[in-house]
Structure 1
Amino acid sequence: MWRFIARRLLQAIPVFLGTTFLIYAMVFALPGDPIQALAGEKPLPPAVVNALREHYNLNDPLLVQYVKYLGGLVQGDLGETFDGQAVSDVLSGRWTVTAQLALTAWLFELVIGIGLGVWAGLRRGSLADTLVLGGTTLVIAVPVFVLGYTAQIVLGLNLGLFPTAGTEDGWPLSYLLPGMVLGSLGLSYVARLTRTSIAENLRSDYVRTAYAKGLSKVRVVGKHTLRNSLIPVITYLGVDFGTLMGGAVVTEGIFNLPGIGQQVFQSIQLKEGPVVVGASTLLVLVFLVVNLAVDLLYGVLDPRIRRD
């Protein structure tokens, strides 16, 4: 097991370097001069421009800039914005908001999505199966901003079931409605994936053998069928957690949540490349850590998957 973990960590190094370099290159290839953007329409003296470009390594070749960024990253330094703030300070409070929102959406996908998938998979062809397939198709077809505003008006304003904006009520209350909106698309995929996997495994030889041995339906489904069926679902949920962290821009805007998504959007407009690169680097790390955890879960769900 430890050899497997070490091997996966070593494999993650080139993935991390390649991904962060591409992000760094694309962000700083955006048109416009970030130094000049600091002064707006008023031109800066050439001496000031040269000093700032030297301070932020903008006169160096791209590869040299990236290596210097990695040197700071190893020491826990995500860089500095063009107005002198530490990127870690800019992202610290917002990172907590986005993490809580993503966790709420992810738990919503996990519990409700798997529950609906199992319910439909065990009743394939029934009314329950039709309702799950039809409902998830409808959610997939509706754009997230339409779903968000509708949920905000109906469930928040009209019925008063949830707070409609802001984080004043703390976690989880302030994050329940935006979390459901953010996780609705993933929930639909989780439910459909679980339903298909359950239905296919119920026709497998090992399930028929388990029934032939006299095992109860609860044990066959809970111990054998469900564990094998959850392998592709866990894979999707692992990847989707990183997607939820990075893809909450629209949801955060609708519900006025001061998270990473809003900050990255604003930083792109202001040409604050260090903030965009720093946030993206943290998201890459989240993806790598979650994928490693998913691989380790495979051995728990299916002992046939060996870790040599």
Structure 2
Amino acid sequence: MRRYVLRRLLQAVPVFVGTTLLVYAMVFALPGDPIQALAGDKPVPESVLRTMRDRYNLDDPLPLQYGEYMWGLLHGRLGENYDGRQVAEMLGGRWTVTALLAVTAWLFELAVGVALGVWAGLRRGRLADTLVLGGTTLLIAVPVFVLGSAAQALFGLRWQIFPTAGADAGWPVGYLLPGMVLGSLGLSYVARLTRTGLAENLRADYVRTATAKGLSRVRVVGRHALRNSLIPVVTYLGVDFGNLMGGAIVTEGIFNLPGIGQQVFQSIQLKEGPVVVGAVTVMVLIFLLVNLAVDLLYGLLDPRIRYR
């Protein structure tokens, strides 16, 4: 197990470097002068521009800029914004909001998606199966900003079941509605994966053998068929957690949540490259760690899997 974890961590290094290099290059290759953007339409003396560019190494070649960024990252620094604020401090208070939103959406996907998938898988070809397939197709087809606006109008304004905006209500009340909106797409895929896997495994030889031995229906489905059916679901959930962290920009905008997505959107508009790169760097790290945890869960779901 230790060798497997060490090997996976070493494999994550080139992925991390390649991803952050690509993001860094895309952000700092954008046209426009970020120093001039701080002043808006006001003229900036050339001496001030030269001083600021020298301070933030904006005149250095891109590989050198990236090397200096990685060197600071190795020492626990996410960099400094063009107005002198530390990126870690700017993002620090917002990580909690985005993390709670992502966890709420992830738990919603897991609980409701698996439940719907089991319900449809046990009734393949019947009305329940048709309802789940049709409903998940509808959720996939509707854009998240349309779904979010409709949910906010109905459940927040008209029926007043959930808060309409902001995080003042705290977790979980203030995050339930935006979490369900953010997790709606993932829920659809989780339900479909669970339904397909369960329907196939119920026809497998080992399930028929377990049934022939006299095991109860609940034990056959829960311990044997469903356990193996959840492997692709766990894979998807591991990948999707990173997508939830990074895809919260629209949802945070609709529900006015002061999270990382909102900060990244504002930073893109203001050409604050260090903030964008710092936020993406942390998201990449979270994505890699979650996928390592998912790989380790495979052994619990399927004892035949061995780590080498």
TM band (smaller chain): over 0.9
| Structure 1 residue 10 displacement after superposition | 0.4
1:258 — aligned with what?
A: 258
Structure 2 counterpart of 1:106, which letter? W
Report the more deviating stretch, 127-136 or 290-299: 127-136
TM-score, normalised to structure 2, is 0.99
Q: Matches of residues 190-205 of structure 1 in structure 2 within 5 Å? A: 190-205=190-205
Tell me, in whole angstroms, the C-alpha distance in 2 between the residues paired with 1:201 and 1:4: 29
**2:78 matches 1:78:** yes
| Structure 1 residue 94 displacement after superposition | 1.2
Tell me, in whole angstroms, the C-alpha distance in 1 between the residues paired with 2:146 and 2:10: 43
Query: Per-residue displacement from partner, 1:90-146 (whole Å, max 9, x unpaired)?
Result: 111111111110100000000000010011101111111111111111111111111
Tell me, in whole angstroms, the C-alpha distance in 1 between the residues paired with 2:174 and 2:58: 41
Tell me, in whole angstroms, the C-alpha distance in 1 between the residues paired with 2:224 and 2:68: 51
| Structure 1 residue 228 displacement after superposition | 0.5
| Structure 1 residue 153 displacement after superposition | 1.1
**2:262 matches 1:267:** no
Q: 2:162 aligns to what SS in structure 1?
A: coil
Tell me, in whole angstroms, the C-alpha distance in 1 between the residues paired with 2:104 and 2:164: 16
| Structure 1 residue 61 displacement after superposition | 1.0
Tell me, in whole angstroms, the C-alpha distance in 2 between the residues paired with 1:69 and 1:220: 54
2:122 — aligned with what?
A: 122
1:26 — aligned with what?
A: 26
**2:53 matches 1:53:** yes
Q: Matches of residues 174-189 of structure 1 in structure 2 within 5 Å? A: 174-189=174-189
Tell me, in whole angstroms, the C-alpha distance in 1 between the residues paired with 2:154 and 2:35: 45
Tell me, in whole angstroms, the C-alpha distance in 2 between the residues paired with 1:182 and 1:192: 18
Tell me, in whole angstroms, the C-alpha distance in 2 between the residues paired with 1:250 and 1:35: 27
Query: Per-residue displacement from partner, 1:251-287 (whole Å, max 9, x unpaired)?
Result: 1111111111111111111000000000000110011
Q: Matches of residues 229-240 of structure 1 in structure 2 within 5 Å? A: 229-240=229-240
1:136 — aligned with what?
A: 136
Tell me, in whole angstroms, the C-alpha distance in 2 between the residues paired with 1:71 and 1:183: 36
| Structure 1 residue 156 displacement after superposition | 1.0
Overall identity of the aligned pairs, in %: 75
Query: Per-residue displacement from partner, 1:142-198 (whole Å, max 9, x unpaired)?
Result: 111111111111111111111010011111110000000010111011001100010
**2:147 matches 1:147:** yes
Report the more deviating stretch, 57-66 or 229-238: 57-66
Structure 2 counterpart of 1:165, which letter? A
| Number of residue pairs matched by the alignment | 308
| Structure 1 residue 36 displacement after superposition | 1.1
Tell me, in whole angstroms, the C-alpha distance in 2 between the residues paired with 1:46 and 1:135: 60
Structure 1 counterpart of 2:44, which letter? L
Q: 1:99 aligns to what SS in structure 2?
A: helix
Give me the CA root mean square deviation. 0.8
2:156 — aligned with what?
A: 156
Tell me, in whole angstroms, the C-alpha distance in 2 between the residues paired with 1:196 and 1:8: 30
Unaligned 5+ residue runs, structure 1? Answer: none
Q: 2:271 aligns to what SS in structure 1?
A: coil
Tell me, in whole angstroms, the C-alpha distance in 1 between the residues paired with 2:177 and 2:215: 41
**2:204 matches 1:221:** no
1:87 — aligned with what?
A: 87
Report the more deviating stretch, 37-46 or 108-117: 37-46
Runs of 4+ in 1 over 3 A off after TM superposition: none
Tell me, in whole angstroms, the C-alpha distance in 1 between the residues paired with 2:83 and 2:288: 31
2:16 — aligned with what?
A: 16
Q: 1:42 aligns to what SS in structure 2?
A: coil
| Structure 1 residue 43 displacement after superposition | 2.1
| Structure 1 residue 24 displacement after superposition | 0.4
TM-score, normalised to structure 1, is 0.99
Tell me, in whole angstroms, the C-alpha distance in 1 between the residues paired with 2:73 and 2:141: 41
Unaligned 5+ residue runs, structure 2? Answer: none
Tell me, in whole angstroms, the C-alpha distance in 2 between the residues paired with 1:37 and 1:155: 40
Tell me, in whole angstroms, the C-alpha distance in 2 between the residues paired with 1:142 and 1:183: 13
1:172 — aligned with what?
A: 172
Tell me, in whole angstroms, the C-alpha distance in 2 between the residues paired with 1:158 and 1:21: 47
Q: 1:24 aligns to what SS in structure 2?
A: helix
Q: 2:258 aligns to what SS in structure 1?
A: coil
Structure 2 counterpart of 1:66, which letter? Y
